[in-house]
Amino acid sequence: MAGAMDTMDDKDLEAHFSRVYKQNLLPMIRNLKLLEEVSPSCLVHLQEKKKETKLMQKALEEKQEEFKERMEVVTCRWKELHNKKAELKSYMEKSERILKENKEMQTKAVKKATEEREKKLQKEIELLRANRELKALRIKHQKLSNKVQKYYIFHKYLEAVVKNSEFEDIEEILLHYETLVRMRKDLWQSQQQCKEMSDQGNVLLDQYKAEKDVEILHYKKELQELQLHFEQAQSDVHLWEGHWADVQTTNAKKAQLLAMIKMAICSLFQTVSTQLKANLKLLRDDSHRQLDMIQQFIQDHTDLLLEVKRIEMQNCQRASLTTEI
């Protein structure tokens, strides 16, 4: 109850006391009024009750004042707690922000340290490479120094050559030497190219000769075959000439026989015309029509002979029948 009272505000307190007044004190006051109306003899008792009521009212007001004071204290404590909660929340947010910043700073510090370590390692690697290069350059310098000392005698010699020649200085001699070396190299390359071209030409010539030899052999073989064909053709010509002479002779005989047949057909046709006593107008050389007319005449004549024989046989039969009778 005390906890519930601590959490109430002023409006809730007024509502609470009003509810208590309606539920407890108001029914008691009404009962006292009813008692005064019903029993005037109980006035002493009523006055005592009123005194008790006033005392209770006073005690209730004191309790209410005390409760208000307690509520004010509770409200103050509540505000203090609320403020402390806000401060705590602000402190937590600030702490989280500081932790986040510290974490970011730590990450940046680690990253920076890593980068610095990598840079340091890179610089150490570059330093080692530079030391190696310096050592190599020193070795090269030593070699060049040795070479200079070795070729110093040639320098003296070239100075002597300059004094006793048309050249003005050593550089001109070296330039002339480089020119001669380059010309020699160009000549050597030209000779090599000419040699390569000559070798390629010889190879191509050998290939060409080999191809032409193969073609010559092929043509010789074809020529031999053609010679054989020609000889065979000559022998075939003599053979076919003999056949052609035989054919011409046979054709001449057949032509002669054909002329004789045509003459015979024409003679028969004239005979048939004479027998038929008809002037048949046909071409002299139209042997086929003439032969057809002759065949027709022979057929008619044959039919007539058969009819005559048949009649004679009938007559003979009749004569024999008459004799028997």
> What confidence score (pLDDT) does residue 12 get?
62
**For residue 310, what are the CA distances in angstroms to 113, 230, 300, 302?**
156, 74, 15, 12
Nearest Cα residue to 32 out of 14, 15, 16, 56: 56
Would you state the pLDDT for residue 94? 83
270-278: long-range pairs with CB below 8 Å, 24+: 272/297
pTM of the model: 0.27
Res. 301: pLDDT tops 80? no
Give me the residue spans of the domains in the chain.
2-108, 234-324
In contact, 71 and 60? CB cutoff 8 Å: no
Token pair in block for residue 140: 């090269």
The one-letter code for the residue type at 296 is Q
C-beta neighbour count of 293 within 10 angstroms: 20
Both tokens assigned to 26? 């108001």
**Total H helices, total E strands in the chain:** 7, 0
- Which pLDDT does position 25 carry in this prediction? 59
Query: Could you tell me which of 6, 12, 13, 11 has the C-alpha nearest to residue 78?
Result: 6
Task: State the pLDDT at residue 217.
Answer: 92
**What are the distances in angstroms from CA 107 to CA 20, 92, 112, 113, 114?**
66, 22, 8, 10, 10
User: How do residues 116-173 score in pLDDT, each as one tens digit?
Assistant: 888 888 888 988 988 898 889 889 888 888 887 777 777 777 777 777 777 777 788 7
Q: What DSSP element (H or E) covers 268?
A: helix 170-276
**Closest listed residue to residue 294, CA positions, set 261, 320, 311, 271:** 271
Q: Could you report the per-residue pLDDT of 160-195, keeping only the tens digit for each? A: 777 777 777 778 877 888 888 899 899 999 888 888
Residues 6+ apart with CB under 8 A from 265: 287, 290, 291, 294
Total residue count of the chain as it appears in this document: 325
